Structure 1
Amino acid sequence: MVIGFQQKGDSMNAQFKLLALATALATTVACSNMAPDTAATQPATASGATNFELTIAHVNDHHSNLDAHSRTSLQLDGESVRVESGGFARVAAMIDRISSANRHVLKLHAGDAITGSLYYTLFQGKADAAMMNHVCFDGFVLGNHEFDNGDAGLKKFLNALAKGDCNTPVLAANVKPEVGVSPLTPRGRWDSFQPYQIYNLGGQKVGVIGLDIAVKTKQSSQPDATTTFADERETAEHYIAELQRYGVGKIILLTHYQYSNDLALARALPAVDAIIGGDSHTLLGDFNSYGLDSDGPYPTQITNADGEPVCVAHAYEYSKVVGELQLQFNGDAISSCGGRPHFLLSEEAPAAFDDTGLFTRIAPQASAVAVRDTFAKDVDVLTQQVIARAPERLCMQRMGVISREQCGSAGQSDMHQLVAQAFLRSVPAADFSLQNGGGVRGELPAGSISLGDAYRILPFSNTLVTVDLTGAEVKQLLEQTMAYTLSDAGSDGSYPHGANIRFDVDLSAADGNRVSAIQTRTEQGWQPLNNDQRYSMVTNSFVANGSDGWLLLGELSEQGRVEDTYIEYAQSFIDWLRAQDQVTRPGQHSTINYTPVQP
């Protein structure tokens, strides 16, 4: 494998980098996980063009999910089954299997390695870096959540990733920290990462360019104010041209840019052969009959600006899937896209999954388990870590069957209100938050509050989602939740609780008239809901899909008016608890006046 890049206008090191690149391109270097080989080993076509096969083993958006998912619900032959899935030790085993079975392999990670589980809460990326170094990825692109703790937080993670013998190249062509200001760039723009990597595989030059999603990272994460993000397409065009000047004809984009954006980017750009992507948590492959929603085929093949094929692949989320992309080249052009996703299951899962071409039953890699266990034992202990205190009981009750005695003088559910406040603190740009009653599963007694308590109260793998909706749609949504609460097929878990929003509820009224006096809190105080005004609401990803009777959100999601922040909802509550220290009962709840169903 060879490495080299040069950015025009870079500091006094530019000439040195160019010289190093020229030297590297003339030399074949064997990577620790690749046997040395030469172009002579590749068959040539009648026209003289060389046939070449490249395998890419890839993951994305593992979000500190290092443990297996113990109760994944799937469908098999029309029956519901629960199986253990994923876990980073299975990712390591699968990538090792792919690497052993193929000659020319790149192991790529498409970003958002960190934030999302107790492993990150406790170890701030060190556990993720250790597991990633064990796999030894050949390339890692920065994602938006890499910036959640600012440039300094990212620098700490990258320092941990740089430890050991792996030396994974970190790619981010369009990320521009201010030189001399950001801890990422104390001396020059490429101190902590680089725009691309050039590999020599079997005498073939393969270039991989890294791109992060620009606007989302700047607006929804926390990079330093002086760190900017260049346009994805313009950046790609610049570095594609640079690679071509260096004689690199096989070009791959490693992006954290979302599936739909990747498709548009591929169509707009020349010379791109493949895109390995992330950010949208996209599941590709025909998983629909197994109880999972698929967004397209694996791989997805489209045509670039030159009229040549481009292979696009994503690998879902949370250490559940490893993608195996097979690229066939004729010269520098793609002749075919192949491969498959490996949705990783326990060996104890039904053997029928083996015949699907989608699922792979595989044991966790023992050496990877040993690495994880150095952190897991502390996770078990630190789950008891006290993060706040409650001077009195903080109750939880389901509003559809309200019992005012349960919560004493407050008359409402403390826990739901506090969680809604935490949502709003994590996404301060939102006008208000709403949370379904069923998303909160416990209460807090007076005394110490631990990390374990937070995860007990919010046990699901939900994330925070923002929704763009009008005042009229807010009213419609609230009425839908009340109707579902009262319906025979519904659940009182649909009942809404919010922060910076309040309303009266009369469950004895006719459908469409159960919610009234809706107000939102603004800088000018409480104001009546304006039917024509657009509002930004933060909620959880479960109801954002239209679940639990929140049907309107499913429709808005299809219209592109819902965006996942990928902030884990339990993490938002943990952060809020830490900021409070002493957690007291809320002085006001979102439901002001409540009338139950009349007998």
Structure 2
Amino acid sequence: YGERQGGTAIVHAGKYAETLGLANIEFDQAGKLLSLTGNNFFMLGDELTITSATDETVPRQVEKRLSEQLRLHPGILNSEQDDALEHIIQTQYRPALDALESQVLGQIPRDFVHTRLPSRHHPHGSEIAPWISRSMYKMAKKQLPELDFSLHNAGGVRQSLPKGQITMADVLGRILPFELPLVAYQIKGRHLFEVLENCINAATNNGATGTGAGSFPYPYGIRYFYDGTQALGQRITKIELHKQGHWQDISADEHYTGVSTAYTASGKEGYHGLLNALWFKPLPKTTLPEAFVDFMGNHGHLLTETLTPNVYYIRHIHKG
């Protein structure tokens, strides 16, 4: 859709490439908005399947009438190909994508399900996000031997990881499409309690204005216990640090060294508590997808192990 607010054009094409947004925006020489027109378009193939909610056979004449009506809708684009644009795609873009598809990183031993929030079937949440956090930890540890933990948000992982061969295209184009730099920081334990609760509250709309389930946190090197039935400010009941082979409680007044992406380290999506860090240190030439690619190359065999859960979650109870 498109809206005009205070002389500003605001456009949005939905999510997950379900629609194609096309807008015509006209400005005068001073940059003032003159007009805004456009639409979100669904793209249809040549063949349509029309079914009945009651599983009854749809009469042919009804199928034909509905198909014609749908194709006349102003928000529909059909399957006509632009030959000039197709030539550009095939000559300037497709070879690079094909090269990524042929660059095999390793084998995934089983399906790793990505769900942003814990659920009945996945009480500790995502099965792949903790491995992404572990890859961040492994990469950052090379530059910062004193590193204690890594912390990543669920929305930074885009889909599940199926069993079988994994390629560079899978990582860069499907699982981790955001080339986010990694940033190290040192933060007090009390602020880590605040960060974890705030982003979980935001992810679950539990007494906080939600930012979406993508803010849910997945760490490595620490594990946390969240009880959403407790009062605000008291829902992270414990955070433990894995050190010298043992789990130990973190101290509110101790400083701990962590690594996150530049996105969450800047305080977005409920992670504003990270801005209380004593210092920040960008890790040169180290991005999120690079960390996972490096992990697959050097530690991919670890995926056969069962990763100890780092998320212990009791959901909040809706009243009324």
TM-score range, shorter chain: 0.5 to 0.7
Aligned to 2:133: 420
Q: Residues 353-392 of structure 1 correspond to what in structure 2 (within 5 A)? A: 377-392=95-110
CA 1:577 to 1:516, structure 2 compared with 1: closer, same or farther past 3 Å? same
CA 1:76 to 1:508, structure 2 compared with 1: closer, same or farther past 3 Å? same
CA 1:350 to 1:381, structure 2 compared with 1: closer, same or farther past 3 Å? farther
Aligned to 1:568: 287
Aligned to 1:468: 186
Q: Which runs of 5+ in 2 are unaligned?
A: 13-22, 32-87
2:155 equivalent among 438, 441, 450:
438
- The answer to whether the Cα contact below 8 Å between 2:191 and 2:274 also exists between their aligned partners in 1 is no
Give the letter aligned to residue 595 of structure 1: I
CA 1:378 to 1:497, structure 2 compared with 1: closer, same or farther past 3 Å? same
Secondary structure at 2:304 match in 1? coil
1:457 equivalent among 170, 175, 178:
175
Shift of 1:585: 5.7
1:514 equivalent among 232, 235, 243:
235
1:535 to 2:256 alignment: yes
CA 1:395 to 1:584, structure 2 compared with 1: closer, same or farther past 3 Å? farther
- The answer to whether the Cα contact below 8 Å between 1:404 and 1:412 also exists between their aligned partners in 2 is no
Q: Residues 187-198 of structure 1 correspond to what in structure 2 (within 5 A)? A: none
- The CA deviation string for residues 431-481 of structure 1, in whole angstroms up to 9 with x for no partner, is 100111111111111111111211211112322111211111111211221
Secondary structure at 1:433 match in 2? strand
- The CA deviation string for residues 187-207 of structure 1, in whole angstroms up to 9 with x for no partner, is xxxxxxxxxxxxxxxxxxxxx
Secondary structure at 1:511 match in 2? coil
What is the TM-score of this pair, normalised by structure 1?
0.36
Secondary structure at 1:434 match in 2? strand
Aligned to 1:404: 120
CA 1:411 to 1:550, structure 2 compared with 1: closer, same or farther past 3 Å? closer
Give the letter aligned to residue 469 of structure 1: I
Shift of 1:575: 1.1
Aligned to 1:590: 310
- The CA deviation string for residues 501-555 of structure 1, in whole angstroms up to 9 with x for no partner, is 0011111211111112211112252221022211111011111111111111245
- The answer to whether the Cα contact below 8 Å between 2:192 and 2:274 also exists between their aligned partners in 1 is no
- The CA deviation string for residues 43-71 of structure 1, in whole angstroms up to 9 with x for no partner, is xxxxxxxxxxxxxxxxxxxxxxxxxxxxx
Shift of 1:483: 2.4
Matches of 2:212 and 2:27 in 1, distance apart?
35
Sequence identity (%): 25
Matches of 2:100 and 2:304 in 1, distance apart?
24
Secondary structure at 1:549 match in 2? coil
Matches of 2:253 and 2:275 in 1, distance apart?
21
Aligned to 1:21: none
Matches of 2:155 and 2:251 in 1, distance apart?
28
Mark the structure with the bigger radius of gyration.
Answer: 1
Aligned to 2:84: none
- The answer to whether the Cα contact below 8 Å between 1:418 and 1:586 also exists between their aligned partners in 2 is no
Matches of 2:29 and 2:258 in 1, distance apart?
42
Aligned to 1:483: 201
Matches of 2:28 and 2:275 in 1, distance apart?
30
Shift of 1:426: 1.0
Matches of 1:353 and 1:446 in 2, distance apart?
54
Aligned to 2:8: 78
Give the letter aligned to residue 573 of structure 1: F
Aligned to 2:296: 577
Give the letter aligned to residue 572 of structure 1: A
Higher relative contact order (Cα pairs below 8 Å, separated by 6+ residues) = 2
- The answer to whether the Cα contact below 8 Å between 1:388 and 1:580 also exists between their aligned partners in 2 is no
- The answer to whether the Cα contact below 8 Å between 1:505 and 1:595 also exists between their aligned partners in 2 is yes
Q: Which runs of 5+ in 1 are unaligned?
A: 1-74, 83-347, 357-369
Matches of 1:349 and 1:551 in 2, distance apart?
37
- The answer to whether the Cα contact below 8 Å between 2:114 and 2:128 also exists between their aligned partners in 1 is yes
Shift of 1:417: 0.4
Shift of 1:413: 1.4
Secondary structure at 2:128 match in 1? helix
Matches of 1:505 and 1:396 in 2, distance apart?
20
Q: How large is the RMSD of aligned CA atoms in angstroms?
A: 2.9
Q: Residues 244-393 of structure 1 correspond to what in structure 2 (within 5 A)? A: 352=27, 377-393=95-111
Higher mean displacement: 427-436 or 380-389: 380-389
Secondary structure at 2:110 match in 1? coil
